[in-house]
Amino acid sequence: MKQSSPRPRKTPSVSLSLLGNRRTVYPESPNHARLESFPNKYPKRAYWITFDCPEFTALCPITGQPDFGHLVIRYVPNKQCVESKALKLYLFSFRNHGTFHEEVVNRVLDDLVRAIRPRRAIVRGDFNRRGGIAISVEATYP
């Protein structure tokens, strides 16, 4: 007897346009990207969510050369959680975007806070050496 595969449950309060979309559109810059979210089913519990992004790339705004780094995004959700595919596409949007390392970390934190209003958040970027100097940047909320 052939079994049908289970259909994903739809939650009426969730509007995720990126997850499950068969056609992935890669945003050209962070200005064109969007962080989508879904309801936190445990808003009364303080727990950490960590995203480890070891292959982050952006462009140096002066030379246009690629900069490589490792971002770690940690947050304690409030009412919303960021959806991981949306976060992946958002981070990918920096690939052709000229920005300094300090701006990357602070922009990611600001955009995350704007999108989901977490209780707490930390974004850390460890960027590869350039000219013999490695840069680490960490921004926290609140």
Confidence band of 4 (pLDDT split at 50, 70, 90): very low
Share of the chain above pLDDT 70, in %: 85
Average pLDDT over the chain reads 89
Q: 48-77: per-residue pLDDT in tens?
A: 999 999 999 999 999 999 999 999 999 999
- The catalytic position among 53, 60, 110, 126 is 60
**In whole angstroms, how far apart are CA 48 and each of 9, 56, 116, 117, 138?**
25, 21, 14, 14, 17
CATH architecture of 30-141: 2-Layer Sandwich (3.30)
> Residue 111 catalytic?
no
Distance CA(114)–CA(112), nearest Å, equals: 5
C-alpha triplet 55, 91, 77: angle, nearest 5°:
110
Q: Is 92 helix (H, G, I), strand (E, B) or coil?
A: helix
- The catalytic position among 67, 110, 111, 126 is 67
Q: What is the pTM of this model?
A: 0.85
Cβ contact 111:82 at 8 Å: no
pLDDT of residue 9: 43
> Residue 60 catalytic?
yes
Q: 87-116: per-residue pLDDT in tens?
A: 999 999 999 999 999 999 999 999 999 999
In single-letter form, the type of residue at position 98 comes to: G
